[in-house]
Amino acid sequence: MNDLRAGWPEEVLTGQYWFQRTGGTAAREVVSFLTDDLLYPDNDTSLWTRAGDRIVMQVFRNQHPGIKAVRAGGSAPWLTLLQHVRSPQGEEPYLLHRMRRQMSDKRYTFRSRLRRARREFTADMARLQPTPLQVWDVLDNRADRFLGRLTVPIGVPGARTAIHGATGRTAAHLMAEGELLTVRTGARPVAQFTRVDNAYRVDVAGAAPAGLDPRLVLACALLRYARLSDK
């Protein structure tokens, strides 16, 4: 922990910090959030991380690659979340051959051939452009280090995110508990996410004493709140 104090704000490691939106209008932000950006996708809203009275980071989610926490006023990311993507299955000429084969199958009417070809085409496009996995690698860009991984939890009632350390071991879970989101290592609460008006407070005071890297809590908060930014 002492090594981290040379670069990270103390509040991010052992205290409280806030995610605060700026720009846009409240109504547009709410609609964008609730519809997962299907409406008002160009709403100009920024998301900042505040520690005390200082703005320390800005959150970007639309800059390749991944979700980033960038030092306020700078361009170099401090933390990045990289989402896993399945590899394409097969090559385009081979896959689309099945669609052409359906169109040339004289055993069926033209309408049936068209329907079957369309089904093959849809399936082939899914193989060529697979849906991203719900798995994110967490990278500390300043230290050039892999910190761990965030995944969708399985078999843990109430859990929203599973937090894994660099070794792959499950270190904690983000749990939904009424109006609060609580990070727990086993049954022990070590961090909390709370909405206060239009801001979101993250309290990590219990993370380091429990052996949980507070940067992983930051990564969990980024994954949770990055959608509030249009950047």
pLDDT score of 133:
72
Q: Is 69 exposed, middle or buried (0-12, 13-18, 19+ CB in 10 A)?
A: buried
pLDDT in tens, the chain (231 residues): 667 777 789 999 999 999 998 876 554 555 455 445 544 444 568 899 999 889 999 999 987 789 999 998 888 899 999 998 766 555 555 566 777 888 888 888 888 888 888 888 777 766 666 566 789 999 999 889 999 999 998 889 899 999 999 999 999 999 999 889 999 999 999 999 999 998 999 999 999 999 999 999 999 999 999 999 888
> Among residues 30, 28, 21, 63, which one has the least CA distance to residue 42?
28
Residue 87 dihedral angles phi and psi, to the nearest 5°: -75, 145
Alpha helices per DSSP H over the chain: 10-14, 26-34, 92-103, 110-128, 214-225
Give the pLDDT confidence score for residue 204 in this predicted structure.
97
Amino acid at 227: R
Annotate 150-189 with DSSP letters as a single string: EE--SS-TTEEEEEEETTS-EEEEEEEETTEEEEEETTEE
Q: What's the chain's Rg over C-alpha atoms?
A: 22
Domain layout of the chain by residue ranges: 4-82+137-228, 92-128
pLDDT of residue 11: 94
